[in-house]
Copies of this chain bind each other. A is one copy, B any other.
Amino acid sequence: MSYLTDLGYLALGSRLRRLNDRLAREGTQVYDTLGIHFEIRWFPVFHLLGQRGPSAVMEIADTLELTHPAIIEIADKLSDRGLLTSRKDDKDRRRRLLALTPKGKRLTEQLQPVWRAFERCGREVARGGGNDLLEAIESVEAALDRLPLHDRIVDRLQPKRVRTQK
C-alpha cells in the first residue's frame, strides 16, 4: 500500500495521471517493438482523417476534444514526416483542410491489425474484478454532469446556502 493508495479518493487525480502515463509508455513501446515510427498522440488525428477524409483544423479539434493548437502541432509533425498534407478550403478560405498522403494511407492500413490488438488488449485489461474502467469513467462523468464536484463540496461545506452561485 503506497501513500497515494492510502489517500484514496483524495489522490484520484494522481492515480488517473499515473495510469495514463503508464498506458502511454506501454503504447509507445509497442510501436517501437514493431519498428513502426508512430507516436501515440498522433492516433486520434490519424484515425479521424482515415475515416472521414480531409477535415479542417477546428473540426478535428472539436471532434477530438482538444484545442486547435494541439491539432496544429500534431499536423506539423505528420506533415514533416510526409504523412499529411494540407490545403486551403476553396469554399471558406479561413479553413485549412488536412488530409493523409498516400504514404499516410498506407500506414493506416499497416496499423489496422495493431489497433485491433490495442482494442482487444485494452478491453481485456480494463475489465476485471467486476469493474470496467471505461464504464467507471463514464459513470463519473455522468455524475459530474448532474452536479459538479465543486458544487457538491461547497454545498457540503456551506450548507446554509440553498444553491451556490456560478
Contacts and interface: CB of A to CB of B under 8 A. Distances in A.
A129 B139 contact: yes
A136 to B, nearest CB: 4
A143 B65 CA distance: 29
Interface residues of A, number: 74
A77 interface: no
Copies of this protein chain in the complex? 2
Q: Closest 7 CB pairs between A and B?
A: A9-B122, A129-B139, A131-B136, A136-B136, A26-B149, A16-B20, A121-B152
25 contacts: A3-B63, A8-B122, A8-B123, A9-B122, A9-B126, A12-B122, A13-B23, A14-B64, A16-B16, A16-B17, A18-B65, A23-B149, A26-B150, A30-B149, A117-B156, A120-B156, A121-B153, A124-B152, A128-B140, A129-B135, A131-B131, A131-B132, A131-B139, A133-B133, A136-B136
